[in-house]
Amino acid sequence: MNKNYDVAIIGGGFYGCAIALHLSQTCGRVTIFEAESDLLQRASYVNQARVHTGYHYPRSLQTAASSGKNLLLFKDLYDECIDASFIALYAIARSGSKVTAGYFSRFCRQLGLPIRPVRKQLRGLFSPRLIEDVFECEKYAFDAAALKRVMKRRLNEAGVDIQLNTRAKTIAKHNGGGAVVLVETADCEVPVRADWVYNTTYANLNRLGGLDQKKQVGLRHQITEVCLIEPPAALANVGVTVMDGPFFSTMPFPARNRHSLTHVRYTPHFTWHEREDASLSPDQVLAKYSKNSRYEWMLRDARRYLPVLDEARFAETLFEIKTTLTDTEIDDARPIAFHRDLDNPHVISVLGGKIDNIFDVLKVIDAAHKVKAA
């Protein structure tokens, strides 16, 4: 055994890094294994860059309420990664929306979310026939590139050992307590022992060998496409979300200094439920996928509601896997999965959700570690 850690974290996305940072305060030696050549490369980077304020979940009060609470914590910790310079608009579609404008504004007031009627020149951008009402809200985007810089700096300061290009293959029980992770680098395979192992590989959560297969979390994967556009001048400083149904959203994507364009109907390319005997890992499915952009569909639908989008220019498109628990499809709630291995309670799988919900996970982790200490 040539290496020994208190905590080993598999997967250097935002959740993995945040957990590493948190545990480094109490647990001694912490390491992160990241298969990519840098941290925060995958789903932490390719998403709508939203910091949720709760407006987005009018049908799940609990998610909305916890979003509002977590936002404050997130703003506190990652202030330098947050872009609050744009006007966030929520537009309620007249037909096909699951909420009405009246319900939406009542809901926001009930939760104490700031909401104002939209200024006139911005209302004029929307089709009056298709949009019932528009509200100005307080919402933020995060800069994934800045978040990566901040994370790296803090991890280095905390003395966390970051091992890039290192893929964890299996986890085995260790007789002296804790677990052994077999990691693979470019040239060799090394077993690493750790007291606690966190599996934060998101889409590939179930692909790690050695976990109790039968009791794993049910995962639902989705190949999603986020288009990046050069926004028309009128929207340069504006983020728009049309609620609440098969509509679209276009918001600043600070990491590339562009706008993202996503559409409820066209962003998800296809969905599958992970079976235990699946021959391809989600990453392999993504690599094999044809990746034909649906930009034309998204834009054409979006510009019916927001004709000014006609002047948008296509820049590039990003494909990524979005993974959720199988039982959250009914409403918008996306609780975070926290799963302790039955054979080995020191091996914990965490399925990340929205980026600002990390604090709920940290609380649960603290509780898990405290039980052990007592």
Partner 1 sequence: MDTMLRKDAFVSVICPARNAGPELAARLDALSGVLNSNFQYYEIIVIDNASTDETAARMKTILSEYKNIQYCALSVQVSDTAAYAVGLCRAIGDFIVTMDITSDPPDRLTDLLALAAGGAEIVYGLPSDRIKGATIYDRAARLFLKTIARFNNVDIPAAMSTYRVFSRSVLNYILESLDHHRTLALAPALSGYSYKSLEYDRLCAGNSDARRRIGFKSTLRALDLLFSTSVRPLRLVTVFAVGMSVLSVAYAAYVVITRLLMENVASGWATLSLQVSILFFFISIVLAVMCEYLLQILETSTRRPVYHVARELHSSTLDYEQDLNVRDAEGKTAESAARQS
What residues make contact with partner 1 under the rule CB under 8 A?
95, 129, 265, 296-297, 300-301, 304
User: Positive or negative CA dihedral for 283, 338, 268, 302?
Assistant: negative
Q: Which amino acid, residue 248?
A: F
Measured distance CA(48)–CA(228) in Å, rounded: 10
User: By C-beta, is 215 or 304 nearer to partner 1?
Assistant: 304
Q: Which amino acid, residue 204?
A: N
User: By C-beta, is 129 or 288 nearer to partner 1?
Assistant: 129
User: By C-beta, is 289 or 297 nearer to partner 1?
Assistant: 297
User: By C-beta, is 304 or 363 nearer to partner 1?
Assistant: 304
Phi then psi for 272, rounded to 5 degrees? -145, 155
CB of 129 to partner 1, least distance (A): 7
E strand or H helix at 226:
strand 219-230
CB of 96 to partner 1, least distance (A): 8
CB of 262 to partner 1, least distance (A): 16
In the numeric block, which tokens belong to residue 74? 């997130």
Phi then psi for 337, rounded to 5 degrees? -80, 135
Measured distance CA(25)–CA(366) in Å, rounded: 11
CB of 109 to partner 1, least distance (A): 31
242 SS3 class: strand
User: By C-beta, is 296 or 331 nearer to partner 1?
Assistant: 296
CB of 296 to partner 1, least distance (A): 5
Contact 239, 89 (CB under 8 A): yes
CB of 300 to partner 1, least distance (A): 4
Measured distance CA(137)–CA(358) in Å, rounded: 23
Residues 6+ apart with CB under 8 A from 80: 146, 150
Rg (CA), the chain: 21
CB of 288 to partner 1, least distance (A): 17
Buried b (16+ CB within 10 A) or exposed e, 75-84: bebbeebbbe
User: By C-beta, is 157 or 310 nearer to partner 1?
Assistant: 310
User: By C-beta, is 3 or 220 nearer to partner 1?
Assistant: 220
Residue with tokens 């945040």: 18
129 C-beta neighbours (distance < 10 Å), count: 9
